[in-house]
């Protein structure tokens, strides 16, 4: 049986490079997720003014969920590509 050298796993809490997006609790967040969150909050306030608290809360929850999905997909794409994973 051959011994195959494996790369060490990429840790999510490594320090990001300068200008690589926002860092919150040592977690890099893509600008797309930040923009979706901000626009969702604005839309939630508008929906609350127009249709009430319940609808505004639902819109806010949907925006947060969408921003989380975008963030997870960005992180998955960042670390699934071996060339980019080594560069990061």
Whole-number pLDDT of residue 16 = 52
**Residue 39 predicted with pLDDT over 90:** yes
User: Is 0.95 surpassed by the pTM of this model?
Assistant: no
Residue 5 lies in a domain: no
Angle in degrees, CA 82, 83, 88, rounded to 5: 95
What is the rounded radius of gyration, in angstroms, for the C-alpha atoms of the chain?
A: 18
**Residue 88 predicted with pLDDT over 70:** no
Residue 3 lies in a domain: no
Residue with the bigger pLDDT between 12 and 72: it is 72
Q: What is the mean pLDDT of residues 27-42?
A: 85
Evaluate whether 41 touches 66 at the Cβ level (below 8 Å): no
Range of the domain at 58: 22-87
Task: Give the count of domains, the chain.
Answer: 1
Residue 16 lies in a domain: no
Residue 12 lies in a domain: no
Residue 8 lies in a domain: no
Residue 4 lies in a domain: no
Distance CA 25, CA 8 (A): 23
């Amino acid at each position: 049986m051959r011994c195959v050298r494996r790369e060490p796993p990429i840790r999510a809490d490594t320090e990001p490079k300068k200008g690589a997006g926002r860092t919150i609790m040592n977690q890099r967040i893509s600008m797309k997720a930040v923009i979706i969150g901000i626009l969702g909050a604005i839309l939630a306030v508008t929906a609350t003014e127009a249709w009430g608290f319940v609808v505004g809360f639902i819109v806010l929850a949907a925006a947060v969920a969408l921003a989380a999905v975008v963030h997870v997909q960005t992180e998955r794409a960042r670390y699934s590509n071996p060339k980019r994973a080594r560069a990061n």
